[in-house]
């Protein structure tokens, strides 16, 4: 069996793409969109999260079972169970939240109350403008907190730096909490670059390791067993880590020495996306 994280098979129902590979009921799937600010994506209904999905994520529903749905994310192919109540009708997004976080307001006023809080990376459809606000079907969002999807950012490190101080959260993908691979994926996504969700998948995706002794460049990725970090320059990295329990800068040399001394996992090396 292929990696379950990337296999659209609930254990009973599978997408047509798996016909002949698994014994299952088959479906073409039903398009959907995440309508909660953030939702856990789990290997089984009610189990601890593998990853998280952000508002506006485009999904394919493979199976509805009780109050959960087995879905595949269009962005990275990741599969799992999510609360069915978190799903809504599909709709094309036009903008992405580019600030660390923002609020959706009921009206074009910061004093009239908010509807929800959205993280960096959430996707919305802008249908108009009123003063400093972009109008979306969900409410009004400060236009300066949004960026057109057609205008991706240039530097993943700059994106990652917006989340400095964000609490570390295993499997997290948002400003409320994020882990090492979530930070790397989110930073690349806002730059319009495909990126897998977990560090082992990222390690496999991003080509060959650089020769030992190569000087790090901005954006290079460091891989350990179960961990990934991003170089800011030749001497400093940024990563979501359990050492500081946050997204933080750390000297590269100090991090290599600390992780080796702690026996936290074999160091694989450095890759250049």
Give the helix/strand (H/E) hosting 157.
helix 156-161
Phi, psi of 64, rounded to the nearest 5 degrees:
-100, 130
Residue 265 pLDDT level (bands cut at 50, 70, 90):
low
φ and ψ at residue 257, rounded to 5 degrees: -70, -45
Residue 264: the pLDDT is 63
Q: What is the pTM of this model?
A: 0.96
pLDDT tens for residues 198-240? 999 999 999 999 998 899 999 999 999 999 999 999 999 999 9
Read off the pLDDT of residues 153-165 as tens digits, 9 standing for 90 and up: 999 999 999 999 9
pLDDT above 90 as % of the chain:
93
Taking the CA atoms of residue 143, residue 37, residue 241 and residue 263 in that order, the dihedral angle to the nearest 10 degrees is -150
Domains and CATH numbers, the chain: 4-88 (2.30.30.40), 95-148 (2.30.30), 156-271 (3.90.1720.10)
What's the whole-number mean pLDDT along residues 25-38?
A: 98
- Identify the CA nearest to 6 among candidates 61, 90, 71: 71
Query: How far is the C-alpha of 227 from the C-alpha of 89, rounded, in Å?
Result: 35
Cα dihedral value 245, 251, 253, 254, nearest 10: -50
Q: Cα dihedral sign for 74, 205, 163, 178?
A: positive
Q: Is-contact 84 64, C-beta < 8 A? A: yes
Q: Residue 129 pLDDT > 80, yes or no?
A: yes
In DSSP terms, 58 is beta-bridged to 33
Contact (CB, 8 A) for 198 and 51: yes
> Which pairing describes strands 236-241 and 227-231: parallel, antiparallel, or unpaired?
antiparallel
DSSP sequence for 178-228: E-HHHHHHHHHHTTT----SSHHHHHHHS-PPPPTTPPP-TT-EEEETTEE
């Amino acid at each position: 069996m292929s990696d379950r994280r990337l296999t659209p098979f609930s254990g009973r129902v599978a997408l047509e793409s798996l016909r002949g590979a698994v014994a299952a009921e088959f479906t073409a799937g039903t398009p959907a969109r995440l309508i909660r600010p953030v939702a856990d994506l789990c290997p089984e209904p009610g189990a601890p999260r593998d990853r998280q999905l952000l508002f506006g994520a485009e999904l394919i529903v493979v199976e509805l079972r009780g109050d959960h749905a087995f879905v595949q994310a269009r962005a990275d192919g990741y599969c799992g169970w999510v609360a069915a109540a978190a799903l809504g009708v599909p709709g094309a997004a036009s903008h992405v939240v580019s600030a660390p976080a923002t609020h959706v307001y009921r009206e074009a006023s910061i004093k009239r109350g908010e509807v929800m809080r959205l993280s960096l990376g959430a996707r919305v459809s802008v249908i108009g403008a009123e003063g400093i606000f972009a109008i979306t079907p969900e409410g009004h969002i400060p236009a300066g907190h949004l960026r057109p999807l057609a205008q991706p950012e240039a530097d993943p490190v700059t994106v990652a730096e917006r989340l400095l101080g964000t609490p570390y959260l295993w499997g997290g993908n948002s400003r409320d909490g994020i882990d090492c691979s979530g930070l790397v994926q989110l930073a690349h996504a806002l730059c319009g670059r495909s990126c897998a969700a977990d560090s082992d998948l990222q390690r496999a995706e991003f080509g060959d390791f650089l020769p030992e002794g190569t000087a790090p460049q901005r954006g290079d990725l460091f891989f350990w067993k179960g961990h990934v970090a991003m170089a800011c320059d030749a001497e400093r990295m940024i990563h979501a880590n359990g050492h500081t329990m946050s997204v933080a800068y750390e000297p590269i040399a100090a991090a290599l020495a600390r992780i080796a001394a702690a026996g936290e996992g074999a160091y694989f090396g450095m890759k250049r996306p």
